[in-house]
């Protein structure tokens, strides 16, 4: 597996990381813990060195899974986790409200370090921007954690351009994590040029469109009742039918490249900028191997031009978040 550096930082990771959220949360029932540990360790054996989690995934259970799985190989890998949501102390339930007060950031860091079985967090993201706390205070709190040796790098997630600039002026931002794929390209307008200018890396989550770009989801697909996609407007049966054109495009190129649709979708991201590291998630070993295989798929400038030309004619239908979550992005 090739390595990539996130922006101008010295954080070097595998060109494709592993998003671990879906093992515990969001896309149906949680995996059996032993199976989750085996899958994460299989990723390490295959060259993946970048693992993404958050306290709110579960809550807490995903960090515990990642910590246990990676403890034997901790020195070989980079772990990213996140702070910034309110979690009910009694029930352990995510309250869906943001909280980036500096004292809360410090509390989360200490708790995450314990769950992750480590003495340092490689990349600590603000999960969503908190409009009630100046971003300078957030960056300052993480800067203190970096100076204390508890965190190595500061990240933001789904932040807008002005927030990124203000945070970066206080504590250099190593990476921005936001949704980006062939069916969600909004970051190209303002975010990506800003990251390039400031030397900040980009970590696209949902690089396979929450599974849609694999070609395995159709308008007929029924999701588990606990699956987040049930409340995503883009995933209504009607919108899935309308958005099939994007999948058809990827599938056509996959046949030409003797690759899978997922591999083409990931290879497309890798071909955009050398400082982008997608983090597809999975619960299956064969999908993990398929995703890792994308690093070997080379898209030529001609391929990229054809994909650009064809995709520009497709209008993607449906919002990527329900309204209550939409308001948490691009602040």
**Measured distance CA(43)–CA(48) in Å, rounded:** 5
- The DSSP secondary-structure symbol of 55 reads T
Measured CA to CA, the distance from residue 15 to residue 54 in angstroms comes to: 21
Count helices and strands in the chain by DSSP H and E runs? 11, 11
321 catalytic per annotation: no
DSSP sequence for 259-321: S-HHHHHHHHHHHH-TTB----B-S-HHHHHHHHHGGGPPPPHHHHHHHHHHHTTPPPPS-SS
Alpha-carbon distance of 54 to 176, in angstroms, equals 15
**Nearest partner of 173 among 186, 161, 185, judged by Cα:** 161
| Identified catalytic residue from 57, 125, 180, 321 | 57
Q: How far apart are CA 327 and CA 320, in angstroms?
A: 12
The catalytic site residues sit at 57
């Amino acid at each position: 597996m090739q390595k990539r550096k996130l922006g101008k930082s010295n954080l070097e990771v595998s060109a494709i990381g592993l998003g671990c959220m879906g093992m515990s949360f969001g896309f149906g029932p949680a995996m059996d813990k032993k199976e989750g540990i085996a899958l994460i360790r299989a990723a390490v054996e295959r060259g993946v060195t970048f693992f993404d989690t958050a306290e709110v995934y579960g809550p807490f259970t995903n960090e515990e899974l990642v910590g246990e799985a990676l403890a034997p190989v901790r020195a070989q890998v980079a772990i990213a986790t996140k702070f910034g949501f309110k979690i009910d102390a009694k029930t352990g339930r995510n309250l869906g409200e943001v909280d980036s007060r500096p004292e809360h950031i410090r509390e989360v860091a200490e708790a995450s370090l314990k769950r992750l079985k480590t003495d340092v967090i490689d990349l600590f993201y603000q999960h969503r921007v908190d409009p009630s706390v100046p971003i300078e205070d957030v960056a300052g709190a993480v800067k203190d954690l970096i100076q204390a040796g508890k965190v190595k790098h500061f990240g933001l997630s789904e932040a807008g351009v002005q927030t990124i600039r203000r945070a970066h002026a206080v504590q250099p931002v190593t990476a921005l994590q936001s949704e980006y794929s062939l069916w969600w390209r909004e970051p190209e307008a303002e975010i990506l040029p800003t990251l390039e200018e400031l030397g900040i890396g980009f970590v696209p989550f949902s690089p396979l469109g929450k599974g849609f770009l694999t070609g395995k989801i159709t308008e007929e697909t029924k999701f588990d009742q606990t699956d987040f996609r049930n409340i995503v407007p883009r995933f209504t049966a009607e919108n899935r039918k309308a958005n099939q054109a994007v999948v058809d495009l990827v599938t056509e190129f996959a046949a030409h490249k003797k690759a899978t649709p997922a591999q083409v979708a990931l290879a497309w991201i890798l071909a955009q900028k050398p400082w982008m590291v997608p983090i597809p998630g999975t619960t299956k070993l064969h999908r993990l191997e398929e995703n890792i295989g994308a690093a070997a798929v080379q898209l030529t400038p001609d391929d990229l031009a054809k994909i650009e030309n064809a995709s520009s004619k497709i209008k993607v239908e449906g919002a990527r978040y329900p309204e209550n979550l939409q308001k948490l992005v691009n602040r």
